């Protein structure tokens, strides 16, 4: 094993350990439940703590004030936070940090510290990774927008994709409740109230969206793993007809199938992270990300639904924690592209011909 591999393994271990201080696996969900359907839906103090830990700037170069780590560390962190049902908008903040770092804008400092919530309002229609950059086009599906301090607006101008910063105060923002207890915003840009950040961020935005899709895959992996662990524990203790239900062969077969889906998802997500860390660009980067996101979204929902079913009637109640994982999965599964979108993109790239 090379020294570089040893260093990466150690950094991933440290990231997982630090995540445990914020979102311990097997911890209670009192904090998560207390934030559900309340405004802004997350704890700003906790987000600032994440900033202090360097999580928001995990993939931002050191010279720009970030940690200078890679996607392997980022997906490991996301996995732990997904397992802990952390509601703070870490992935959207990481996306904004990448853009601000690329252009050297002073707003980066507030984002990296977690004290200023800046969301990138790039999406204008459902299930896409395209960025039309329409000046007056409504920006959709902004996660946890109730807590935003400002928005980054990609706007097509000439041959480039300019980036503008608009303050949230006084913005035309509509909020809707999400099924996991968070909120989703629709923003109607007002360039008269926005300032130009950079003339062209098109290339960087494409990279940042791929990274966000991959990190979201890590979140789904964490949800799957924790819900499955809860389900296995339930199967080992619940009795029916005088027997532990985990001894029923049909349930053992279903659990084994779910474990295979989790293993395949982990393999795809970790391979995608390794590809990006090794410098994959263009079609090779897109293919690696889409393979991971497709697998995480499709297998993730299969596993989460099956975990509910294996719990029986209690799994469908809001009071029982396993349902929280399904609700969170339903909210994030299509963020940065659905399974169908990434499957189409992967096939279109003819990855067997991509070096």
Instruction: Provide the pLDDT confidence category of residue 354 given band limits of 50, 70 and 90.
Output: very low
CATH code of the domain covering residue 328: 1.20.140.10
Q: What is the mean pLDDT of the chain?
A: 93
**pLDDT for residue 1 is more than 70:** no
In eight-state DSSP terms, residue 176 is E
Phi-psi map region of 312: left, alpha, beta (phi>0 left; psi -120 to 50 alpha): left
> In the Cβ-directed half-sphere of 137, how many Cα atoms lie within 13 Å?
16
**pLDDT for residue 337 is more than 90:** yes
**pLDDT for residue 299 is more than 70:** yes
Share of the chain above pLDDT 70, in %: 95
C-alpha distances in Å from residue 306, one per residue of 161, 187, 273, 294: 43, 36, 27, 18
**pLDDT for residue 323 is more than 50:** yes
In a domain, 285, yes or no: yes
Find the largest Cα–Cα distance for the chain: 73
Residue 312 has what pLDDT? 86
Range of the domain at 340: 203-353
Instruction: Provide the pLDDT confidence category of residue 314 given band limits of 50, 70 and 90.
Output: confident
In eight-state DSSP terms, residue 170 is T
Residue 3 has what pLDDT? 66
Residue 248 has what pLDDT? 66
- How far apart, in whole angstroms, are the C-alpha atoms of residue 336 and residue 123? 9
In a domain, 18, yes or no: no
Contact, 92 vs 335, CB < 8 A?
no
Residue 352 has what pLDDT? 61
Residue 186 has what pLDDT? 98
> What number is the average pLDDT over the span 130-145?
97
- How far apart, in whole angstroms, are the C-alpha atoms of residue 293 and residue 335? 10
Q: How confident is the model over 76-99, as pLDDT tens digits? A: 999 999 999 999 999 999 999 999
Residue 262 has what pLDDT? 98
**pLDDT for residue 69 is more than 90:** yes
> What number is the average pLDDT over the span 271-284?
96
Residue 6 has what pLDDT? 72
In eight-state DSSP terms, residue 190 is -
In a domain, 180, yes or no: no
Contact, 217 vs 267, CB < 8 A?
no
In a domain, 56, yes or no: no
In a domain, 341, yes or no: yes
Share of the chain above pLDDT 90, in %: 81
Query: Tokens 């639904």 map to which residue?
Result: 305
DSSP β-ladder status, 118-120 and 150-157 = parallel
Report how many domains make up the chain.
1
Contact, 267 vs 186, CB < 8 A?
no
Residue 27 has what pLDDT? 75
> What number is the average pLDDT over the span 129-139?
96
> What number is the average pLDDT over the span 261-289?
97
In a domain, 45, yes or no: no
**pLDDT for residue 293 is more than 70:** yes
In a domain, 323, yes or no: yes
Phi and psi (nearest 5°) for 309?
-65, -40
In a domain, 239, yes or no: yes
> What number is the average pLDDT over the span 201-214?
97
């Amino acid at each position: 094993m090379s020294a570089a591999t040893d260093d990466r393994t150690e950094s991933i271990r440290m990231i997982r350990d630090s995540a445990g201080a914020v979102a311990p696996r097997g911890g209670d969900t009192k904090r998560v439940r207390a934030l559900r359907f309340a405004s802004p839906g997350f704890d700003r103090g906790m987000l600032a703590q994440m900033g202090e830990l360097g999580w928001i700037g995990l993939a931002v170069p050191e010279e720009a004030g970030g940690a200078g780590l890679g996607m392997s560390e980022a997906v490991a962190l996301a996995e732990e936070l997904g397992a802990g049902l952390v509601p703070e908008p870490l992935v959207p903040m990481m996306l904004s940090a990448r853009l601000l770092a690329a252009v050297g804008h002073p707003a980066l400092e507030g984002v990296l510290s977690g004290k200023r919530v800046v969301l990138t309002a790039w999406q204008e229609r459902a299930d896409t990774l395209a960025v039309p950059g329409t000046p007056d086009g409504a920006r959709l599906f902004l996660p946890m927008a109730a807590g935003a301090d400002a928005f980054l607006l990609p706007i097509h101008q000439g041959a480039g994709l300019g980036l503008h910063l608009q303050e949230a105060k006084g913005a035309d923002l509509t909020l809707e409740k999400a099924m996991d207890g968070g909120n989703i915003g629709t923003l109607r840009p007002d360039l008269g109230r926005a300032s130009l950040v950079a003339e062209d961020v098109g290339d960087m935005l494409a990279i940042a969206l791929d990274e966000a899709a991959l990190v979201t895959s890590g979140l789904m992996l964490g949800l799957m793993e924790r819900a499955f662990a809860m389900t296995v524990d339930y199967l080992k203790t619940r009795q029916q007809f005088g027997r532990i239900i985990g001894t029923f062969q049909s349930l053992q077969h279903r659990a084994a199938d779910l474990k295979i889906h989790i293993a395949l998802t982990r393999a795809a997500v970790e391979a995608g992270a390794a590809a990006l860390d090794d410098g994959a660009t263009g079609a090779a980067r897109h293919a690696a990300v889409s393979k991971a996101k497709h697998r995480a979204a499709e297998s993730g929902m299969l596993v989460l639904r099956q975990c509910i079913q294996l719990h029986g009637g209690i799994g469908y109640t809001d009071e029982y924690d396993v349902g929280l994982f399904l609700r969170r999965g339903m909210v994030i599964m299509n963020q940065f592209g659905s399974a169908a979108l990434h499957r189409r993109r992967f096939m279109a790239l003819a990855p067997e011909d991509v070096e």
